[in-house]
């Protein structure tokens, strides 16, 4: 896979071992099971605690196993007794098993009581983890569809697992910040439409942040996500200035909606520029990363600057458009609500009244 550099460390091919393959049919003819054969081999080679010796209140294990000279030679393993024939004669291992020289694992790792193998790799320079991981996932999915993985399950660990967990938490924090800002503005404006118009500036800021990260060749990581979360509270101030002044002109000066919007834009342009450029120049030293160790915070400043710049230019264009669209929608909902209330208030079964005039 491009972008992944495997470690150039010597890999052990495994530990040589002698494998005994039990012939179940022949073992059944002699009246022994695979479990009995395995237990007999383990007792012979590893030993088994047959009983305990007690003396002066202390216990000592009495472990029974074959003598050392019979356990160290591979040639003697097939002649080990693993049971008894129905006639009472000993049953040897070579009579119920075949042998094969093979290579076994040097160690067995388990995760959640299942055998696991860890595959490690280092990313080459210029390949972020978030870009390499989808390519590896696609390759694993293709192998699974072709049936080449068998019953093997693949799970990410290390930095990939931490990245997934961190991004999930960050997206939760982003959604919570948007919700909190919307609730606060709804309480202050005493309306749902005005905060909704203001919150439409958030996607514009996110687009500017992603464009700035792409232009500066920075990856979307935890630090840049913090900058995007900061933008939720920063970019809304431009839309607040325009929407609040428009509402003031319509409410206090009785201006039509279009005239109020055309007047609010030029009037609020100066404070928008002042506050935006103040925050941009405040983030500029961090974005330039002039000091050692400041590269870690650089993506956050770049994301904030990109979001503020794009939001500054689009606020004066998009907010008036959104204002008119949502205001028409709100007036339509109000008229429909009033019409529905009048229909419910009108008596349906009232008898016609006769009026006599001379």
Q: Give residue 4's pLDDT.
A: 44
Higher-pLDDT residue of 110, 95: 95
Find, among 148, 150, 161, the residue nearest to 118 by Cα: 161
What does residue 86 show for φ and ψ, rounded to 5 degrees?
Answer: -60, -25
Higher pLDDT, 103 or 353: 103
- CATH architecture of the domain with range 167-345: Up-down Bundle (1.20)
Mean pLDDT of the region 151-158: 78
250-303 per-position pLDDT tens digit: 888 888 888 888 888 888 889 888 988 998 998 888 888 877 777 788 888 899
**107 backbone dihedrals φ, ψ, rounded to 5°:** -155, 155
Structure-model confidence comparison of residues 262 and 66, the more confident one: 262
Looking at residue 338, what is its pLDDT? 80
Residues 120 and 128: their CA atoms lie apart, in Å, by 16
Query: What is the percent of the chain where pLDDT is above 90?
Result: 1
Contact call for residues 238 and 312 (beta carbons, < 8 A):
yes
Q: In this structure, how many other beta carbons lie within 10 angstroms of the beta carbon of residue 324? A: 14
Residue 198 clears pLDDT 50, i.e. is over it:
yes
> What SS3 state is found at 19?
strand
Query: pLDDT by residue (tens digit) across 311-344?
Result: 888 888 888 888 888 888 888 888 888 888 777 6
Q: Per-residue confidence at 230, pLDDT binned at 50, 70, 90?
A: confident
Identify the band that residue 99 occupies on the pLDDT scale cut at 50, 70 and 90.
confident
Q: Which single residue is written with the structure tokens 């040639």?
A: 75
Site of tokens 């693993």 = 82
Average pLDDT of the residues in 112-130: 76
The pLDDT, as a whole number, for residue 305 is 92
Is the pLDDT reported for residue 309 higher than 60?
yes
The domain locations on the chain are 17-96, 167-345
Asked if residue 354 has pLDDT above 50, the reply is no
Mean residue pLDDT across the chain: 81
Neighbours of 163 (CB within 10 A): 17
Among 204, 195, 323, 319, smallest CA distance to 268 is for 319
Which CATH number is 17-96's, of 3.40.50.300, 3.30.2090.10, 1.20.140.160, 3.30.70.3450?
3.30.2090.10
Q: Measuring CA to CA, which residue among 101, 99, 100, 107 is closest to residue 14? A: 107
Report the C-alpha gap between 40 and 23 in whole angstroms: 16
Q: How far apart are CA 302 and CA 285, in angstroms?
A: 10
CB 295 within 8 A of CB 289: yes
**Is 84 in contact with 91 (CB distance < 8 Å)?**
yes
**Burial category of 39 from C-beta neighbours within 10 Å (exposed 0-12, middle 13-18, buried 19 and up):** middle
Same fold, 17-96 and 167-345: no
């Amino acid at each position: 896979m491009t972008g992944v550099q495997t470690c150039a460390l010597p890999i052990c091919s495994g530990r040589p071992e002698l494998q005994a393959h039990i012939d179940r049919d022949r073992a059944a003819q002699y009246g022994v099971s695979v479990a009995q054969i395995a237990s007999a081999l383990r007792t012979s080679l590893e030993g088994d605690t047959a009983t305990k010796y007690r003396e002066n209140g202390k216990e000592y294990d009495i472990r029974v196993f074959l003598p050392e000279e019979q356990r160290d030679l591979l040639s003697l393993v097939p002649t080990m007794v693993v049971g008894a024939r129905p006639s009472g004669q000993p049953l040897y291992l070579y009579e119920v098993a075949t042998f094969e020289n093979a290579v076994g694992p040097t160690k067995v790792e388990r995760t959640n009581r299942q055998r696991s193998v860890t595959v490690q790799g280092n990313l080459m320079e210029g390949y972020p983890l978030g870009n390499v991981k989808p390519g590896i996932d696609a390759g694993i999915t293709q192998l699974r569809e072709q049936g080449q993985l068998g019953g093997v399950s693949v799970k990410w660990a290390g930095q990939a697992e931490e990245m997934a967990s961190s991004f999930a938490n960050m997206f939760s924090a982003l959604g919570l910040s948007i919700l909190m800002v919307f609730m606060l503005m709804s309480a202050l404006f005493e309306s749902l439409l005005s905060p909704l118009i203001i919150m439409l500036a958030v996607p514009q800021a996110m687009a500017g942040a992603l464009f700035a990260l792409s232009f500066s060749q920075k990856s979307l990581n935890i630090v840049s996500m913090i900058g995007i979360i900061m933008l939720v509270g920063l970019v809304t101030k431009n839309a607040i200035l325009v929407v609040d002044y428009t509402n003031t002109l319509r409410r206090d000066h009785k201006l039509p909606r279009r005239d109020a919007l055309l007047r609010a834009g030029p009037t609020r342009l100066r404070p928008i520029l002042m506050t935006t450029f103040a925050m941009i120049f405040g983030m500029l030293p961090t974005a330039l990363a002039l000091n050692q160790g400041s590269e870690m915070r650089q993506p956050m400043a770049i994301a904030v600057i990109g979001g503020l710049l794009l939001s500054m230019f689009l606020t004066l264009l998009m907010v008036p458009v959104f204002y008119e669209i949502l205001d028409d929608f709100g007036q339509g909902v109000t008229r429909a609500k009033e019409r529905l209330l009048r229909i419910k208030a009108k008596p349906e079964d009232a008898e016609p009244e006769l009026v006599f005039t001379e």
